[in-house]
Amino acid sequence: MKAQYSALFLSLSLLPHSLIAQGTYLSDPNDTSSQSLVVAPGGNIGIGTAQPEAKLDVRGLLRGESIQLSGSIGIGGIIPNSRLHVRSEGNPVAARFESDSDMCLIRLKANGPSGRQYSISSDSGAFSISDPDRGDRLFIDTEGQVGIGTTRPQAKLDVLGLVRGESLQLSGNIGIGGIIPNSRLHVRSEGNSVAARFESDKELCIIRLKSGGAQGRQYSMGIEDGGFGIGDPDRGERLFIDTEGQVGIGTTKPQAKLDVAGMVRAESYEITSNRDAKQGMIAADPDETLRQVLALPISTWSYTNAPTVRHIGPMAQDFHARFGVGSDDKHIATVDADGVALAAIQGLHTLIQEKDARIAALEQELKSMRTDLAVRLSTLETMLAHAAQDASSATTQLAATR
């Protein structure tokens, strides 16, 4: 049979034009139903098929030491649109590469001025993508841990270097700074007091905090136009720091270092009263202050933002008109209210002292009058006693004369 096939192939090489004839084929004389090689009309050659669909169409195993093509290869019955195009039907494994050693490697090389070479390999159970000039770029160890920039990953994903992306979604905890996180986000800074930095390319940079549950709320912390605020989307700004460093609570337009629109409650409140922090000292007139306090209208009232809470005190306009202190006639500084009260107390004390002195003088005068009256009464009693004695003696003498 070998001799017969050899003779036929010799005929093919010697008479090529006769093989181009329509329907020319070679077959195994022992199997007349087979068509080992067919030259179809148009010049397509089929091996194992009588209807070749390409210049060379082989239906069966193709084996050889090497193959070199100048065009593209399509595997899986597909017309290739790249140098190698593989399609798998009914099997998710489109391609398999095997080696009889511990390493199986695929090399990718791009030519040109900026061309580089990369290797994709499986080595001793680990997978890597590497650059021969710069080492491993991605590494998956035998435990399934992925390392980028390191071949010794210590976590499911261990990146040695900068990570950049549009978004990142994790179901577990994040530890930044080489720390095992004990919360959803745990940041540790070593050698730098800045543990975290948040930036925006807009005039506004916000961090949002949201808690779930029936009582859950959302708060925002952010910088806008140079000011810093903490706000509740449902109720507005809670705390605001303007560009001058003035802090507003309940207001976004603080007029002082701390401006609170609402009640302030504390265990104690200390106001700077150091002599060295003051100037232009002029002694107050306690008597005049007392007179102004006595003439100051005092009423009970409620703030418009807390209508159910009653207070007692003067109006800032009346207070400012009578004492001329404070930054305006819309507010009463606690230090001014305290000062007026203390000065009025001093004035009242002076008035009481004057009254006490007058009472003491009257008491002394009354005492002297009582002493003088007692002396006079005693003298009168003595005189009356002597007169009674004389009258008795006279009566006795008169009786004796008779």
- Highest averaged pLDDT of the listed ranges 77-81, 100-104, 218-222, 275-279: 275-279
DSSP conformation class of 19 = H
Q: Alpha carbon of 387 to those of 33, 384, 399, 401: distances in Å?
A: 188, 5, 18, 21
Residue type, 174: I
- Whole-number pLDDT of residue 350: 94
Q: How far apart are CA 38 and CA 51, in angstroms?
A: 8
- Whole-number pLDDT of residue 203: 86
- Whole-number pLDDT of residue 214: 77
Residue type, 249: I
Tens of pLDDT, residue by residue over 173-208, are 888 887 888 898 899 888 888 888 888 888 889 898
Pairing of strands 146-148, 157-159: parallel
pLDDT > 90: percent of the chain: 40
DSSP conformation class of 276 = G
pLDDT > 70: percent of the chain: 91
Tens of pLDDT, residue by residue over 204-252, are 898 988 888 777 788 899 998 889 999 987 777 889 999 999 999 989 9
Tens of pLDDT, residue by residue over 108-164, are 888 878 778 888 999 888 999 988 777 788 999 999 999 998 999 988 888 888 888
8 pLDDT above the threshold of 60: no
DSSP per position, 92-150: S-------SSSEEEEEEE--STT--EEEEEEETTEEEEEETTTEEEEEE-TTS-EEES-
User: Where is pLDDT greater, at 348 or 60?
Assistant: 348
Report the chain's C-alpha Rg in angstroms.
Answer: 56
Q: Are 207 and 198 in contact (CB under 8 A)?
A: yes
Burial class (CB in 10 A: 0-12, 13-18, 19+), 90: exposed
- Whole-number pLDDT of residue 284: 96
Of the pLDDT bands very low, low, confident and very high (cuts 50, 70, 90), residue 254 is: very high
**Which H or E element spans position 374?**
helix 334-401
Q: Are 252 and 240 in contact (CB under 8 A)?
A: yes
- Give the pair of three-digit tokens for residue 300: 């009970």
For residue 221, give the nearest of 211, 210, 213 by alpha carbon: 210
Q: Are 210 and 199 in contact (CB under 8 A)?
A: no
Q: Would you call 252 helix, strand, or coil by DSSP?
A: coil
Torsion region of 112: left, alpha or beta (phi above 0 gives left; psi -120 to 50 gives alpha): left
- Give the pair of three-digit tokens for residue 281: 């000292």
- Whole-number pLDDT of residue 340: 97
Q: Are 219 and 236 in contact (CB under 8 A)?
A: no
Q: How far apart are CA 359 and CA 351, in angstroms?
A: 12
Q: How far apart are CA 334 and CA 316, in angstroms?
A: 12
99: Cβ contacts below 8 Å, ≥ 6 apart: 105
For the chain, the average pLDDT equals 85
- Whole-number pLDDT of residue 373: 93
Tens of pLDDT, residue by residue over 320-378, are 999 999 999 999 999 999 999 999 999 999 999 999 999 999 999 999 999 999 999 99
- Whole-number pLDDT of residue 23: 52
210-219 own/partner pairs: CB under 8 Å, 24+ apart: none
- Whole-number pLDDT of residue 66: 86
Q: Alpha carbon of 300 to those of 315, 322, 332, 334, 395: distances in Å?
A: 10, 19, 16, 18, 84
- Whole-number pLDDT of residue 24: 55
- Whole-number pLDDT of residue 364: 95
Give the chain's end-to-end CA distance (angstroms, integer): 214
31 pLDDT above the threshold of 90: no
Q: How many CB atoms lie within 10 A of CB 400?
A: 7
- Whole-number pLDDT of residue 76: 83
Tens of pLDDT, residue by residue over 287-329, are 999 999 999 999 999 999 889 999 999 999 999 999 999 999 9
